[in-house]
């Protein structure tokens, strides 16, 4: 059945790119409400921004949503991954500015506090998008593909010239607490040269070693190093789940990303829903429900989020 929060959950931090203080409050919402942002600082036009792939306005370095009135919310991917990974279907997100706080660069804090608040189960069934035909998109050297699958799997491969990252591959089934246990604590990462370039263009103004992993050739500049040996590819998988969550309902399908990112994943969703017969909306039965992210979370899964 569809879920919402049992109580409000608040997060306070800094916007990764704006460097501005940011506050968000997740509030319980009725069945079929979906995930919607509300810019509480906007009073002169429509302040609601539904979290849907059709509203993605920018995918450079993060995923930015925009409504028809031009009201934006950026860097939504980690929060969306946490919402999907915890099995949360309906929530109103009040935000006091244009960017979601980056927290520690992962989804760990979002997951921890969402699960601490608890989920309320409604009496309305969950609808899921079931992929019927394979769809693929190629953008430069990046490829994203989704194909039929009984559950939700994510496979990803990255290849960086920096030896600290190198080539990494992983595939995971997102069922049974996998996201919380395997991906939620994996932080965003970048190369030292990219940091200098971004900050010269007025981006990553809130970035520090407390909210991102920075590598320079063979070296990891963060004193604590990586949380996991393959933290970088795992974070890419985290991002992918967050971007796929913009489908508006859970997807039953197998996603594969090769050097992909926010842009290719969004283009993949647009092509999926524009391709006749490629996807269908079905009411989730008990067997399908058991394969969704967030189903059957146990204490051992939550131990991963600290």
Distance CA 149, CA 128 (A): 12
Catalytic residue chosen out of the listed positions 17, 89, 235, 262? 262
* Torsion sign over Cα 279, 285, 287, 290: positive
The length of the chain is 306
Evaluate whether 55 touches 149 at the Cβ level (below 8 Å): no
Token pair for residue 275?
Answer: 């391709």
Helix (H) or strand (E) holding 213: strand 213-216
Evaluate whether 137 touches 275 at the Cβ level (below 8 Å): no
Is residue 262 part of the annotated active site? The answer reads yes
Nearest to 272 by CA among 254, 259, 260, 290: 254
Give residue 224's region: left, alpha or beta (phi > 0; psi -120 to 50).
alpha
Angle at 48 between CA 45 and CA 49, to 5 degrees: 120
Which residues are catalytically annotated? 262
């Amino acid at each position: 059945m569809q879920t919402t929060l049992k109580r409000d959950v608040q997060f306070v931090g800094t916007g990764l790119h704006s460097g501005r203080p940011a506050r968000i409050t997740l509030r319980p919402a009725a069945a079929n409400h979906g995930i919607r942002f509300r810019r509480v600082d906007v009073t002169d036009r429509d302040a609601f921004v539904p979290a849907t792939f059709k509203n993605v306005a920018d995918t450079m370095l993060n995923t930015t949503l925009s409504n028809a009135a031009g009201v934006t919310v950026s860097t939504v991917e980690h929060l969306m991954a946490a919402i999907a990974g915890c099995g949360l279907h309906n929530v109103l997100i009040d935000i006091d500015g244009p960017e979601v706080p980056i927290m520690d660069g992962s989804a760990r804090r979002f997951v921890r506090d969402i699960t601490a608040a608890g989920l309320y189960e409604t009496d309305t069934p969950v609808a899921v998008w079931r992929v019927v035909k394979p769809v693929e998109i190629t953008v430069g050297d990046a490829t994203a593909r989704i194909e039929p699958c009984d559950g939700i799997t994510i496979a990803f491969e990255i290849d960086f010239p920096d030896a600290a990252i190198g080539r990494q591959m992983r595939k995971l089934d997102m069922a049974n607490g996998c996201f919380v246990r395997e991906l939620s604590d994996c932080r965003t990462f970048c190369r030292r040269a990219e940091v200098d370039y971004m900050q010269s263009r007025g981006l990553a103004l809130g970035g520090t070693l407390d909210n991102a992993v920075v590598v320079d050739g063979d070296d990891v500049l963060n004193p604590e190093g990586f949380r996991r040996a393959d933290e970088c590819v795992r974070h890419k998988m985290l991002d992918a789940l967050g971007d796929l969550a913009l489908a508006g309902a859970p997807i039953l399908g197998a996603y594969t990303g090769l050097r992909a990112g926010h842009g290719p994943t969004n283009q993949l969703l647009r092509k999926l829903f524009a391709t006749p017969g490629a996807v269908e909306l079905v009411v989730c039965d008990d067997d399908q429900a058991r394969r969704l992210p967030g189903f059957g979370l146990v204490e051992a899964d939550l131990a991963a989020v600290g």
